[in-house]
Amino acid sequence: MLNTVIYDGPAGTPLLIAHGLFGSARNWGVIAKRLSVTRPVIAVDMRNHGQSPWHDSHAYADLAGDLADVMDRPMDVLGHSMGGKAAMVLALQAPALVRRLIVADIAPVTYTHSQDGPIEAMRRVDLAGISSRTDAKAQLSELEPGVAEFLLQSLDMTARKWRLNIDVLAAEMDKIIGFPEIAGIFEGPALFLSGAQSDYVQPEARPKIKTRFPKAKFAKIPGAGHWLHAEKPREFEAAVAAFLA
């Protein structure tokens, strides 16, 4: 069972939040707390991340099954990037569990970029020789701005280890950047919310999205890139709240 962080709210349809690659439930704490003003919110650590169990597989069918195991009733589901793909697979495979779907800056397509760079950077950190996060950050200096700080949220300084199953994530990278060939259509309301400065959801992906999610609506947050919830949290929160309302 996935590790969950629950934010109590008024009675209503709960919102389940699935984070992206290398993330965790804690990354969503501020937004989850704000959204819990109107409903219960459940943020999860995906498998091989955070405090959730480690497995040898990181296929989207498995990630979607993990989400289904957390749900004791139909819920609204929000997923970013990797979590967005898992949320889409859940909606396609078990549509009765998903009332409304929000997919943040990702499409049901295979991407060509890999995330092997951050994985190799984390592997190079001398965990036994560091005494602070500052030491670890100095060893991640070749990464793009902001990436080191993001990764360090998954560093357990007490145990001197990453809260990420790096070996499996590397071995399963083709599955993570891909999207499975699965049948199914989700007929419920769906919002595909992108960063206006991101290139993750291209116009040519929209027909494929509409085929799988015929009620899909599209919106962009000005000034935001792929990490739209971190770069423009207030605008992101407002867009999600308006859709759920």
- Would you say residue 171 lies in a domain? no
Pair (103, 32) in one structural domain? yes
> How much is the pLDDT for 40?
97
- Would you say residue 173 lies in a domain? no
Q: Tell me the pTM.
A: 0.96
Q: Which of 56, 126, 167, 199 is catalytic?
A: 167
Burial of 8 from C-beta contacts in 10 A (0-12 / 13-18 / 19+) = exposed
Pair (51, 72) in one structural domain? yes
Pair (92, 187) in one structural domain? yes
Pair (23, 124) in one structural domain? no
Host H or E run for residue 6:
strand 4-7
Pair (128, 153) in one structural domain? yes
CA–CA gap between residue 204 and residue 178 (Å, rounded): 16
Pair (208, 132) in one structural domain? no
- Would you say residue 169 lies in a domain? no
CATH number reported for the structural domain that contains residue 101 in this entry: 3.40.50.1820
Assess whether 81 carries a catalytic annotation.
yes
- Would you say residue 150 lies in a domain? yes
Question: Looking at the 3D structure of the chain, how many domains does it have?
Answer: 2
Pair (121, 11) in one structural domain? no
Pair (188, 89) in one structural domain? yes
Q: Which of 24, 52, 81, 154 is catalytic?
A: 81
Assess whether 226 carries a catalytic annotation.
yes
Strand order in the sheet with 216-221: 4-7, 41-44, 15-18, 75-80, 98-104, 190-195, 216-221
Contact 200, 194 (CB under 8 A): yes
Host H or E run for residue 91:
helix 82-93
Confidence band (pLDDT; 50, 70, 90) for 169? very high
CA–CA gap between residue 163 and residue 50 (Å, rounded): 5
CA–CA gap between residue 156 and residue 107 (Å, rounded): 32
User: How confident is the model over 23-70, as pLDDT tens digits?
Assistant: 999 999 999 999 999 999 999 999 999 999 999 999 999 999 999 999
Domain that holds residue 157: 116-164
Q: How many CB atoms lie within 10 A of CB 161?
A: 12
Assess whether 57 carries a catalytic annotation.
no
User: How confident is the model over 81-127, as pLDDT tens digits?
Assistant: 999 999 999 999 999 999 999 999 999 999 988 888 999 999 999 99
